[in-house]
Amino acid sequence: MSTVDARLSVFKTYKLYVGGKFPRSESGRVYEVTDSKSKWLANAPLASRKDARDAVVAARKAFGPWSGATAYNRGQILYRVAEMLEGRKEQFVREVAEAEGLSKSKAAAQVDAAIDRWVWYAGWTDKIAQVVGGGNPVAGPFFNLSTPEPTGVVTVIAPQESSFLGLVSVVAPVIATGNTAIVVASEKSPLPALSLGEVLATSDLPGGVVNVLSGRTAEIATPLAAHQDVNAIDLAGADDVLAKELEIAAADNLKRVLRPQPVDYAETPGIERMTAFLETKTVWHPTGSLGASGSSY
Amino acid sequence: MASVFEYAPAPESRSVVDIAPSYGLFIDGEFTDAADGRVFKSISPSTEEVLSEVAQAGEADVDRAVKAARKAFEKWSALPGSERAKYLFRIARIIQERSRELAVLETLDNGKPIKETRDADLPLVAAHFFYYAGWADKLEHAGFGASPRPLGVAGQVIPWNFPLLMLAWKIAPALATGNTVVLKPAETTPLSALFFADICRQAGLPKGVVNILPGYGDAGAALVGHEDVNKVAFTGSTAVGKEIARTVAGTRKKLTLELGGKGANIVFDDAPIDQAVEGIVTGIFFNQGQVCCAGSRLLVQESIRDELLDSLKRRLSTLRLGDPLDKNTDIGAINSAEQLARITALTEQGEAEGAERWSPACELPSSGYWFAPTLFTNVTQAHTIARDEIFGPVLSVLTFRTPDEAVAKANNSQYGLSAGIWTEKGSRILAVANKLRAGVVWSNTFNKFDPTSPFGGYKESGFGREGGRHGLEAYLAPSSPEGER
Amino acid sequence: MPTTAPAAHALGDVTASDSTLRRFLHGLPGVDAVGLEARAASLGTRSIKTTAKAYAIDLAISMVDLTTLEGADTPGKVRALGVKAVHPDPTDRTTPTTAAVCVYPDMVAAAKEAVAGSGVKVASVATAFPAGRAALDVKLADVRDAVSAGADEVDMVIDRGAFLAGNYMKVYDEIVAVREALGSSARLKVIFETGELSTYDNIRRASWLGMLAGADFIKTSTGKVAVNATPANTLLMLEAVRDFRAQTGVQVGVKPAGGIRTSKDAIKFLVLVNETAGEDWLDNHWFRFGASSLLNDLLMQRQKLATGRYSGPDYVTVD
């Protein structure tokens, strides 16, 4: 009907997602995001180093409660993300198709896989400690237990090409174990990442656990790599030159660094993306004497 | 101190160890001079006596050693795990057989008491090889994929505080997983690593699997930077660790770092006081405090501060400082003049910043490098001696009022290696241990080690774990691309 | 039952009532078993050689409470023991005498006669030793019997049943009553039977309870149960006497008993004394070994030090 065709659609204003809120960049800058055929899609916020700083503050603030939440609770929330995504699938299919120049069916496969990945990691939250931790049979009167703990605030340079499945594949493992994340979205295709922020905000995920920044990857990532209150960095979306620079900067406070590597995001992941951002804490407790020399208590 | 029960000297015999006047580098199964002919002296820090003259590795030697290790890698990595295991079991047994000799050697070269090398270092060294020997043919069960692969050549740089033990922590897992090794011991303590080279020969270890390069920082840098090294493992200072992290940036080299610490030893008012005092003493005076995981910050609940300090001071007065070869010595020599100068400078700074210094009456030998056990009270988080790693027998005493404050102060550090908790309340142990950002937490004990138990730091204390199943990860590549795991 | 505070010291008020005593004992710092045993083992690695060993062996001999506590004890057996206490090594008159002989009350007179004039004390167990399962009147009669026969020291057992039932005041009152029955001259050793108290926390509590009640010595055990003196429980008691003196000014002795058979063991205990309570306790007025076979091993070691060759059991006396 012509009246419908004539209706002017409502554009979406894409915003950053920081500390559970949706700010514009403090710089007031935006940049044009286009599809694979250079057609304008939207203006995205061009985040500055100050936005990065704010994101670190938010992520640090969220780290205590999120890492202290029960693994069961984190699993429920990650599953909730999948539920929310399922309901907004069409939007993500469109955004991914436009961003990556995919057919609708191929984009849908990507989105389905991304949703399933949330479900996969939701199930990991209360199992990873059992798989990588455990008791150590030390030769002495001690009970000795090693448990994995989240590293802290993790900067995630999201993959540049796989704007949604790749994004989810690097963010979910970081937060599943209790870390909080500052995500630098794909520079060219940030819209699925920014939309993901909207989903996360309605998935019971506490504000600040995931913070999404869009803009020039190098400009945002450089201060984050050097930031003394960031504990780790995933360089998935950094090219070789940038990755090396960031790794050098990261050495200033000995961030844990996950270097970029070829990954087929369609495959079921291993646990390396989780263990890369886990610390092992080993606690020793005296038990009782081993010998029969009198009292053992 | 004139006591009615004066312990007569009880020196361990030096004759069990035969130190040659000179040693070469150990490359491709042979002892050899440095390419440029340089040598350096290894001295005994307790007497300043020259023990031996040792070839000093340079860049050309590093290259030669890496090539030897690369050549050896092909066959070594292809050996069945069960065969690699047997080599490691052999090494473990030979270390047990020669442990008295090695303990005396280590005490001479390092300056630490024979009591420690005999009862701690050497038993742990043998146990470490024994533990990892058993992993060599069971790697598919270790949780790193169905057929995990070795990385290649491991470049390993170790410190002087536990020379042979740090060697064991590096070499045992590397060999068990099928890697070959180029290891640089510290310049002040090269001898036990060279004796280990001889043990490798006794064990019939194939040439080039283990190469030992005594030398200075330049050799370490050359090793870490060598393009044909696949794995870098370093234990030492945080400053050097950062430099190494920068060096390997942008490469495919896998890196593990075990660095400094400023461990908090937290004593609550319901602690088992007498055992806490022992734990504090062990925590900071074991190996003269030259321990990365030392409990160098005592956090004591204010309500028992005076009582605890009285007990601690009384206990420190019984410490016996002197000849490290004497079986009754508790406190040996500081490892080097350089380290002694650093400890001295930091303690002077502690005084200058207003902390109160105390040491028991304690006569120091006239030659060698010595530092009396020292306590600083009235220390706050703002003092340099509460923040910087001193790496000496110096304890900073701080107070806290509540568990929350204890945790906050303990975590208020760039480091995160170790911590101690002393309380009789079980739930408090678990709650506090859970909140501490440290890789090793000792509750109602301190400075315990075991080959099955992973060890390593949070934050600027480094990354990666040594020991246990976790310790294998640093030397293995997943069996297949990530997607197939 | 009237209770009098035996020592007018700083802690007098903790024994004012059942509840104050209980609160005090339960408020003592806990003992970590692994840490305690590790410390005792670590001190056990001290290497005591040459002159130090000679000193330690003579000191240990002088600290022995040479003991016979058998149903088959006779005056003859006790006399032989007394002579041995006075002249432990008949071939070497420089050998110190032991501190005491320790016997049952009915053997005190015989023992007294055997050691007369030597300075060797006679200690008597009492209070229905070893079980202590008798009425207080019976126990006190036992004590009076020993004292009237001339005992210089009485080794009493506490009521472990009352202790384990939490009836600390009953244990306390009994010790006080025994203390009073002793009169002013004899010294009181209080035996806890640490093997029955079972936990180190209990041993620490019993130590303080005994000291508060006026013990001159606190003693580990009777020698009649499976676990007697150990380095760890003795170390713990040495910590207790050290701390008690620091708080009250009153010095109390320690007597490990049972299970110490070799010179090497005895020297380890002396190291514990030296490095825990301190040299003020390195005297037989403040530290004793309750032992029998230990003495011969000390004598053989002493002969070895004097002659340079190892001795054998034919060169020490069998009594």
Given this model, what pLDDT does residue A99 score?
Answer: 96
Order of strands across the sheet with C64-67? C253-255, C217-219, C187-191, C153-157, C121-126, C100-103, C64-67, C289-291
Domains and CATH numbers, chain A: 17-286 (3.40.605.10)
The CB density around residue C295, as the number of other CB atoms within 10 Å, is: 26
> Which chain A residues are within 8 Å of C199, Cβ to Cβ?
295, 297
Of A244, A264, A273, the CB nearest to B250: A244
pLDDT tens for the 319 residues of chain C, in order:
334 445 556 787 999 999 999 999 999 999 999 999 999 999 999 999 999 999 999 999 999 999 999 999 999 999 999 999 999 999 999 999 999 999 999 999 999 999 999 999 999 999 999 999 999 999 999 999 999 999 999 999 999 999 999 999 999 999 999 999 998 889 999 999 999 999 999 999 999 999 999 999 999 999 999 999 999 999 999 999 999 999 999 999 999 999 999 999 999 999 999 999 999 999 999 999 999 999 999 999 999 999 999 999 999 998 7
DSSP B14: G
> Which chain B residues are within 8 Å of C282, Cβ to Cβ?
4-5
Task: Note whether B56 and B38 are within 8 A (CB).
Answer: yes
Given this model, what pLDDT does residue B384 score?
Answer: 97
Given this model, what pLDDT does residue A3 score?
Answer: 54
- pTM to 2 decimal places: 0.96
Given this model, what pLDDT does residue C259 score?
Answer: 93
Could A294 and C34 be called an inter-chain contact, meaning their C-beta atoms sit closer than 8 Å?
Answer: no
Minimal CA separation from C38 to chain A, in Å: 9
Q: Does B424 touch chain C (CB under 8 A)?
A: yes
Name the band, by pLDDT with cuts 50, 70 and 90, for residue B3: confident
> Which chain B residues are within 8 Å of A137, Cβ to Cβ?
452
What ranges do the domains of chain C cover? 27-315
What ranges do the domains of chain B cover? 14-259+461-484, 264-450
Residues 108..167 of A with a Cβ closer than 8 Å to B: which?
Answer: 131-132, 136-140, 142, 144, 146, 151
Instruction: Give CA–CA dist B260/B292, Å, rounded.
Output: 5
Could B5 and C45 be called an inter-chain contact, meaning their C-beta atoms sit closer than 8 Å?
Answer: no
Pick the CATH number of B14-259+461-484 from 3.40.605.10, 3.90.650.10, 1.10.287.80, 1.10.260.40: 3.40.605.10
Which tokens sit at B309?
Answer: 């300090």
Interface with chain B: mutation pick from A145, A283, A295, highest number of B CBs within 10 Å: A283
Interface with chain A: mutation pick from B237, B482, B484, B485, highest number of A CBs within 10 Å: B482
User: HSE (CB half, 13 Å, CA atoms) of B377?
Assistant: 11
Could C32 and A294 be called an inter-chain contact, meaning their C-beta atoms sit closer than 8 Å?
Answer: no
Given this model, what pLDDT does residue C8 score?
Answer: 53
pLDDT tens for the 297 residues of chain A, in order:
455 578 999 999 999 999 999 999 999 999 999 998 999 999 999 999 999 999 999 999 999 999 999 999 999 999 999 999 999 999 999 999 999 999 999 999 999 999 999 999 999 999 999 999 999 999 999 999 999 999 999 999 999 999 999 999 999 999 999 999 999 999 999 999 999 999 999 999 999 999 999 999 999 999 999 999 999 999 999 999 999 999 999 999 999 999 999 999 999 999 999 999 999 999 999 998 654 455 566
Interface with chain C: mutation pick from B3, B5, B449, highest number of C CBs within 10 Å: B5
Whether C255 is catalytic: yes
Given this model, what pLDDT does residue C9 score?
Answer: 66
CATH topology classification for C27-315: TIM Barrel (3.20.20)
3-state DSSP percent of chain C in helix, strand and coil, to 5: 50, 10, 40
CATH 3.40.309.10 fits B264-450, yes or no: yes
Query: Rounded mean pLDDT of B42-68?
Result: 98
Fold agreement (B14-259+461-484, B264-450):
no
Evaluate if residue B164 carries a pLDDT over 80: yes
Given this model, what pLDDT does residue B364 score?
Answer: 97
Instruction: Give CA–CA dist C171/C270, Å, rounded.
Output: 30
Whether B292 is catalytic: yes
Task: Note whether C180 and C218 are within 8 A (CB).
Answer: no
- Centroid of chain to Cα B223: 20
Residue among B12, B187, B200, B292 flagged as catalytic: B292
Residue among C84, C219, C265, C268 flagged as catalytic: C219
Given this model, what pLDDT does residue C4 score?
Answer: 42
Q: How many CB pairs under 8 A join A and C?
A: 43
Given this model, what pLDDT does residue C21 score?
Answer: 97
Could C35 and B444 be called an inter-chain contact, meaning their C-beta atoms sit closer than 8 Å?
Answer: yes
Given this model, what pLDDT does residue C184 score?
Answer: 86
Query: Rounded mean pLDDT of B398-404?
Result: 98
Residues 121..160 of A with a Cβ closer than 8 Å to C: which?
Answer: 141-142
